[in-house]
Structure 1
Amino acid sequence: MEFSLFYFSGDGSTTKNDKYNLLIEGAKFADQHGFSGVWIPERHFDAFGGLYPNPSVLGAAIATITQRIQIRSGSVVIPLQHPLRVAEEWSVVDNLSNGRVSLSFAPGWHPNDFVLYPEKYANNKEIMWRDIQIVQQLWQGKSLKFKGGKGNLVEIQTFPRALQKQLPIWITSLADETFIEAGRIGANILTSPLYQSLEDIFRKISLYRQSLIQNGHNPQQHKVAVMIHTFVGKDINLVKQRVKEPFKNYLKTHFDLMIKTAGNLRFSVDPQKMTAQDLEDLLEFSFESYFNNKVLMGTPEMCRKMIDILKEAGVDEVAALIDFGVDFDWVMESLEYLKEIKDYYNVPQTAKTLLH
C-alpha cells in the first residue's frame, strides 16, 4: 500500500501571507519520508478550494522544493483547458521536477465552471477522452493539426519536450463506465468514498481490473488510489475534537453530500424549509456517519483496520486529504502518525509479524 497527500479544501478568500504553508510543508514532509505523490486539484470560482485554480502552477512550485515525490494533478479538468496548453505547462513541470509529473484527468461537472468553455459542457466526457489522447501524443513529441487564426489547419508541436517519454495518466472516476473506460485505455484510477459506498468502490475496482485484462493491459501495473479525508492521532477523543468542526464546515459547503446521506434516513430534505437547528442536526448526523465509515480519522490502530479493508479490495494507494480546515500544527503532527502507518505497510512481512 502506497500513501500520498491530497489537497482540495483550502480557503482562497483569505489574504493571509501563509495560505500555501500546508501545501509547501506537507509536500516537503512527504518528499522526505517516502510518500508516493502530492495531488493538487483544479478548482474555479469558489472560495472553498479556491487556493487551487491551476495545478500546474503549484506543481511547478513544488517541483523546485522536492526531489523524489511524484507531482500529480487531482485533477486537470481538461474540457476547461486547451490540450496544447496542458501539454506545454505540464512538460515545464516535468522538466523542473526531473520527470516526476503524473496527471489525473476529470470531465468537470459544475456548469458555472464552464464559463471558460461553455460550448464544451454538453459533451464534457467525450471531450475528456479525446483530449487525453491528444495530450499524450503531444507529450511524446508528435505534431498534430489544429485550426489557426485564418481558419486553415496548422501543424503544431509543443515545447519544451518532457523528460518522461510516456505521461503517467489517471482518471478521476465515480461511475461504472468511467472505471471500465479507464481500464480500456490503460489509465490508473483515482476515486473517493465520499460520493459512494465502499462496497460500490470495491465492485467498480473489479470492473476496472477486468477491463484492463480484456484490453491487453497488465492489472498489476496499474493503480487504484482512494482519496480519503485523513487525520491520525494517538487519542480518538482528541482526534474527534480536532476534526469535528472543520469537517462539519466542509460538509456544510458540500451540502449535496449531506442530502445524499440524509436519504438513508428515509426522510426527504427540503433546503428551502430547513431551520438553523435542522441544518445543525443534519451536519451532526452527517459528521457521525462519515467519521465512522468513510474517512481515515482515528488512532493508527483504527486507521490500519480501514486500510486493511481497502487493501483487501484491491486499492493500491491511500491519497490522504489533509487540508479540510484543521489547525496547521495539528495536521503536521498528524502526518507523523500517518508516516508510521505508511512505514508499517512498507516493511517486509517477517518484520511486520515481529511488530505484533
Structure 2
Amino acid sequence: MEFSLFYFSGDGLKTQENKYNLLIESAKFADQNGFSALWTPERHFHPFGGLYPNPSLTSAALAMITERIQLRSGSIVMPLHNPARVAEEWSVVDNLSNGRVALAFASGWTLDDFVLSSEIHANRKESMWSGIQTVHKLWEGEQVELKDATGNTFKVRTFPRPIQRKLPTWIVCQSNATFIEAGKIGANILTSLLGGTIEEVAPQISLYRESLAKYGHDPKAGKVAMMIHTFVGEDFNTVKEQAREPFCNYLKTHIDLLENLAKNAGMKVNLEKFTEADINSLLRFAYEGWLKGRTLIGSKTTCMQMIERLKQVGVDEVACLIDFNPNCDAVMASLPYLKDLKDLCSLNQEKLVSLS
C-alpha cells in the first residue's frame, strides 16, 4: 500500500498571510519521508477548496521545494481547458520537477464551472476522453490539428518538451462506465468513498481490472488510489475528539454528503426544512458514520484495520486528504503517526514477500 497526500479543503475566502503554509510544510514532510505523491485539485467559484483554482500552479510551486515525490493534479477538469494549454503548462512543471508529473483527469460536474469553457456541460464526458487523447499526443511530440479564429485548421506541436516520454495518467472515477473506460485506455484510477462504501466500490474496481485485461493491459499494473480523510494519532478516542469539530465543519460545506449518508442509513431527510439544532444532530450522526469504515481518522491500530479492508478490494494507494482540518499545527503533529502507519504497511508487505 502506497501513501500520498491529498488537498481539497483549503479556505480561499480568508484574507491572511501564509495561506499555503500547510500545503508547503506537509509537502516537505512527505517528500522527506517516502510518500508517493502530492495531489492538488482544481476548484472554482467556491471558498471551500478556493486555495486551489489551478493544479499546475500549485505543482510548479511544489516542484521547487521537493526533490523526489510525484506531483499530481487531483484533478484537471479537462472540458474546461484547451488540451494544448494543458500539455504546455504541465510540461513546464515536468521540467521544473525533473520528470515528476502525473495527471488525473475529470469531466467536471458543477454547472457554474462551465462558464470557463466553450464545451456543453452535457457533452463533458466525451470532451474529457477526446481531450486526454490530444494531451497524450502533444506530450509525446506529435502534431495535432487546431482551429484558428477564422475556423481554418493548422497543425501545432507544443513546447517545452517534457522530461517524461509518457504521461502517467489517472482518471477520477465514480460510475461503472468510467471505471471501464479508464481500464480501456490503461489509465490509473482515483476514486473515493464520498458516494458509497468499500463494499459498493469493490465491484467497480473489479470491473476496472477486467477492462484492463480485456483491452490488452496488465490488470495488476493499473493502480487504484482511494482518496480518504485522514488524521492519525496515538489514541483513537483522543483523535476522534480532536477531529470532530473540523470534520463536522467540513461536512457543513458538503450538505450532499450528509444527505447521502442519511439515505444509505435508510433515513429520508430534507435538509432545507432542518433547524440548526437538527443539522447539528445530523452532523453528530454523520461523523460517527464516517468513522465506521470511511476514513483514516484514528490510531495506527484502527487505521491499519481500514488499510487491510482497502487492500482486500484491490486498492493500491491511499490518497490521504489532510486539510479538512484547517489547524496547520495539529495536522503537522499528526503526520509522523501517518508515516509510522505507512512504514508499518511496508514492513508487513516485506514480511509477506519473504514468507512467499
In 1, Cα distance between equivalents of 2:78 and 2:136: 13
Pair 184,136 (structure 1): closer, same or farther in 2 beyond 3 Å: same
Amino acid at match of 2:222: H
Is 2:280 the counterpart of 1:280?
Answer: yes
Pair 269,141 (structure 1): closer, same or farther in 2 beyond 3 Å: same
Match of 1:57 in 2: 57
Is 2:296 the counterpart of 1:304?
Answer: no
Kept in 2: contact 1:228–1:320 (CA 8 A): yes
68-77 vs 266-275, which deviates more?
A: 266-275
Amino acid at match of 2:176: D
Match of 1:232 in 2: 232
**Alignment root-mean-square deviation, CA:** 1.5
Kept in 2: contact 1:243–1:326 (CA 8 A): no
In 1, Cα distance between equivalents of 2:61 and 2:30: 15
Query: TM-score, normalization: structure 2?
Result: 0.97
SS at match of 2:122: coil
In 2, Cα distance between equivalents of 1:353 and 1:223: 19
Kept in 2: contact 1:242–1:326 (CA 8 A): no
Kept in 2: contact 1:189–1:223 (CA 8 A): yes
Match of 1:128 in 2: 128
1:174-323 to 2 correspondence within 5 Å? Answer: 174-323=174-323
Kept in 1: contact 2:197–2:293 (CA 8 A): no
Q: How many angstroms does 1:303 deviate by?
A: 0.4
Pair 49,349 (structure 1): closer, same or farther in 2 beyond 3 Å: closer
SS at match of 1:113: helix
Is 2:165 the counterpart of 1:156?
Answer: no
Is 2:18 the counterpart of 1:18?
Answer: yes
SS at match of 1:342: helix
Pair 350,6 (structure 1): closer, same or farther in 2 beyond 3 Å: closer
Q: How many angstroms does 1:210 deviate by?
A: 0.5
Query: TM-score, normalization: structure 1?
Result: 0.97
> 1:61-103 CA deviation, whole Å, 9 max, x = no partner?
0001111000000000011111111000000000000000000
SS at match of 2:102: strand
1:80-99 to 2 correspondence within 5 Å? Answer: 80-99=80-99
Pair 91,257 (structure 1): closer, same or farther in 2 beyond 3 Å: same
Match of 1:70 in 2: 70
In 2, Cα distance between equivalents of 1:293 and 1:164: 37
Q: How many angstroms does 1:119 deviate by?
A: 3.7
Pair 307,350 (structure 1): closer, same or farther in 2 beyond 3 Å: closer
Pair 118,269 (structure 1): closer, same or farther in 2 beyond 3 Å: farther
Q: How many angstroms does 1:3 deviate by?
A: 0.4
Amino acid at match of 2:124: N
In 1, Cα distance between equivalents of 2:70 and 2:85: 21
Query: What runs of 5+ residues in structure 2 fail to find an aligned partner?
Result: none
SS at match of 2:331: helix
Query: What runs of 5+ residues in structure 1 fail to find an aligned partner?
Result: none
SS at match of 1:268: coil
Pair 273,350 (structure 1): closer, same or farther in 2 beyond 3 Å: closer
In 1, Cα distance between equivalents of 2:326 and 2:15: 18
Pair 166,239 (structure 1): closer, same or farther in 2 beyond 3 Å: same
Q: How many angstroms does 1:274 deviate by?
A: 1.2
In 2, Cα distance between equivalents of 1:12 and 1:326: 12
Q: Give the fraction of aligned pairs with identical amino acids, expressed as a percent.
A: 56
